[in-house]
Structure 1
C-alpha cells in the first residue's frame, strides 16, 4: 500500500484536477438553457427520469457511468479516499444523556466523541447550541467543558440540562464573531471542539485557535458557502497561491449531497425547482432579457397553491408587470424541461462535490500546520449518517 500523501501533495493534486475540469463543475446550472458539453449530449440525452435519479443518488454508479468521458476519474476517486478515525472504546452512554436530541444528531455526536483524539485538556465547545456535544464529552471524559453559543435561550436550556445531570459544563451566551469570545480561550490549556460549525464560524475558530495557540482542535466543518466575502479567501499559503477562484455558489456544490431528506421533502424540492425554472422562462419573456434573474425564497406554504400564484408572487417581489393572457401551463411545461437539463448538468457536476469539499478541508488543515500544529484529516462516521463526515484534528507541536 502506498504511503499516504502529505497535506501539501494532496492539496496540489486535487487543485490541479479541479482546475483542469472546472468547465464541468464551475457553472451555474439554473442559468444554463442548453447543455455546454456537446460530447456528453448523446449519452445524457438518452437517460430517462429514473436513470437520471439513480445516477444523482448513487455515487458509485455515477462515477462508473462517467468513466468513458473523464480520463482522470480514477485519480479523482483516489484523492477522495480519506481514512476513518480509530474510535475510542467507550461504553454506551446512559439513555438520559441523549434525551432532547434527535436520533440522527445524537448518533453523530457519539461518533464525533469516539473519534476525538483527547489532549487531556478541558474542552472549549464552539457554536454549542444547547451543549449536547459538551455534555457527552464531560460525562465520558470527566473534564470541564466551556460552551459558547450565540442564543441565550439555548444556553439557558443547555445549562439546565447539564446541571440536572451534574456535569461540569458552563454555557456562555457569546457571539463568537466578536472579541468577547477571546476571553474564554486559554492558550495551551484547552482543546477546542466543533461539530458542524458553519462557514465563517468555523473559519473564525481556526483563526482564534491559531492566534491563542490552544493545545488542540477537533472540528468537523459544514456549510462552506456561508462566508462573509463574495468569494472564498484561502487560509493557507498554498491555497492563496492557487488560481482557483470560488464564489459562494461554487462553494455550495461542496454541501449539496444529502442523505436525510424524506420522500415528501424530495417531492417539494422537485416541485419548487420546476416552478422556479418555469418562472425563469416567464421572466425572460416579461423583461425581454434572456438572462437568469435571482429571486427570493418564498414560504414553503406557497407550494400548496398553484403555479400561477407562485409566479404572481415572485413577479410582485421583482416588480414585474404580468399582462393578461399568459399561458401558465406552457411555462410550467418549460420548467419541467429545464429540470431535465439541470439534472443532466448535476450528474456531471456532482462528481466534483467531494473533491471540492476535501480541497477546502485541506486548505484549513494546511493553515493549521503553518501555525505550528500537527494535523490529520479523517472521517468520523459513514456518509449515511452524515455526508459532512470530515474531521480535522490538530495538536500543538512542542
Structure 2
C-alpha cells in the first residue's frame, strides 16, 4: 500500500509527462495567435476535428461530456489524463469542514441582530471567501489547541475582524500598505460601535480586538523578529490568496518555526512565482519540472465560468480575444518592440467595433492610430477566424487545472517531506472564487 507521499510523487511524475508533451499548447499565448499562426501548430487531426466545431460543443467537452462527434484519440487521451491527475475542484462539504457550535447570544458572533455585521463593506466574492475561510481556520485552530492567528495580506482586515470578534481568536493582520491598515482600524471601531448597541458592556470588555501590522515580507525569518503580543506566543498562519512567492514564504516559516502550529493557505497569482517559490519539494526539484510563465498564467484563469459561457452559447464577447490578437499583429508590424504591449482591459460589448477597440487601445498606448485602410482590411480577415482563437484558448484552458494541481501538490509534498500532516481541500465555489483549494497543515499536538 502506497503512502500519501508516494502517491503524490507518482501523480506528479505522470503529470509532468503530460505537461512536457503539451508544453507547445500551454505556451500558445492568445495575443500571438495571428503573429505566430497558432492554428497551424495544432496537430492535423485536431485541426480537422475542431475546424467547424461550435464553441458550445467544446464547452461541453471541457466539462467532461464527450460528444458523439469523432475526436482524435490523442485529444481524448489528454482529456482523460488531465481528469485523472487533477485535484478535484468540486466542493463536497459546503460548510468548509466541521461546523462550529453557535456562540452565546450576548456576543458579536451570536447575537441575531449582528448576523451580517462582518459582511458590511465586503463584496460578494470576498463574503463567500472570508465566511468559509474563517470557519476552516477556526476549526483548525481548535484542533491544533491554538487560539492565535496571523493573517497575511490582510488588506482591510475583513478576515481578521471575523476571526477575532466572531470566533474569539487573538488575530493579527499583516499588510504592506499603510492606507489599508489605517482603514482596517477604522472598520474595527465601526464594528464595535454597532456591536455595543446590542451586547452588554461586560461582553464588550471581553472582546478580542484584532491587531494590525504594516510589514512587507521578503524573508520568513522577519516573522520571528515581530513584536507580537504575549497572547500570540504560538500562532497559526493564514493566507487568503497571498500573491506569488508570499504563499511559499509562509510555508517555509511554518516548516522552520515550531511556534507556528498550523497553516491555512489559499494560493494565487502563480505566474508571479520565482525559483524561490517553485518548485519547493525536493522530489519535484529532481524532476524536469519547469513551468513557463504562460502555463502558470493560464492556471489562474476561471475555467468553470468560461466553460459555462461556452455551454450556454454566450461566447460572442469572447471575440475580445480575437480583437486583441488582431491588434497584436498590427502593433508588432508597427514596431517589434510593441510586442505584448500592456493594453489595459477594454470591455467588449455587442456594438464595439474593431476600429473602436483599436482607437481605445492606441489611445491608452499613447500612439497615433494607423491611417492606412489596408491595415484594418487585413485585421478583418483575421477576425473571421475568431472561432479558432476561442478554440485554441479553450484547448489551453483544458490543461490549466493540471498545472495548478502540480503547483499545489509540490507545496503539499514539501510539507510532507518534513514529516508533518497536510491536506488540500476544495472549499470555495469555483464559479465565485476560481482558486478554491485550501491547504491545511498542522503540527501534531
Give a deviation string over 1:323-355, Cα, whole Å, max 9, x none: 653335424413423532221212322221111
How far residue 215 of structure 1 moved from its aligned partner, in angstroms, is: 1.2
Partner of 2:132: 111
Give a deviation string over 1:229-283, Cα, whole Å, max 9, x none: 6x974111122112132222220111112566999xx989645433322223334
What is the 5 A alignment of 1:326-341? Answer: 326-341=373-388
How far residue 393 of structure 1 moved from its aligned partner, in angstroms, is: 0.8
> Cα gap change, 1:320/1:97 in structure 2, threshold over 3 Å: closer, same or farther?
closer
How far residue 80 of structure 1 moved from its aligned partner, in angstroms, is: 2.2
Identify which range, 108-117 or 79-88, moves more after superposition.
79-88
Partner of 2:171: 145
Task: Please give the secondary structure, in 2, of the residue aligned with 1:256.
Answer: coil
What is the 5 A alignment of 1:23-102? Answer: 23-32=24-33, 33=37, 34-36=39-41, 37-52=43-58, 54-55=59-60, 59-61=63-65, 68=73, 69-82=75-88, 87-90=97-100, 91=102, 94-102=115-123
Q: Between Structure 1 and Structure 2, how many residues are aligned?
A: 390
Give a deviation string over 1:196-249, Cα, whole Å, max 9, x none: 1121221222223223341110101011112356x9741111221121322222
Report if the CA contact (8 A) 1:126-1:197 is conserved: yes
How far residue 74 of structure 1 moved from its aligned partner, in angstroms, is: 3.0
> Cα gap change, 1:232/1:351 in structure 2, threshold over 3 Å: closer, same or farther?
farther
Q: Which of residues 227, 241, 258 is equivalent to 2:273?
A: 227
> Cα gap change, 1:385/1:299 in structure 2, threshold over 3 Å: closer, same or farther?
closer
How far residue 322 of structure 1 moved from its aligned partner, in angstroms, is: 7.1
In structure 1, list runs of 5 or more residues that go unmatched.
none
Matched residues in 2 for 1:329 and 1:81: separation?
A: 44
* 1:193 is aligned to 2:194: no
Rg: which structure is higher? 2
Partner of 1:168: 209
In structure 2, list runs of 5 or more residues that go unmatched.
104-108, 110-114, 193-206
Matched residues in 1 for 2:246 and 2:262: separation?
A: 18
Partner of 2:328: 280
Q: Which of residues 144, 149, 154 is equivalent to 1:128?
A: 154
Task: Output the aligned Cα RMSD.
Answer: 3.8
Partner of 1:349: 396
Q: Which of residues 210, 218, 222 is equivalent to 2:264?
A: 218
Partner of 1:183: 225
How far residue 132 of structure 1 moved from its aligned partner, in angstroms, is: 1.1
> Cα gap change, 1:372/1:197 in structure 2, threshold over 3 Å: closer, same or farther?
same
What is the 5 A alignment of 1:314-333? Answer: 324-333=371-380
Identify which range, 374-383 or 174-183, moves more after superposition.
174-183
TM-score (ref. length: structure 2): 0.74
Matched residues in 2 for 1:241 and 1:185: separation?
A: 38
Matched residues in 1 for 2:134 and 2:233: separation?
A: 21
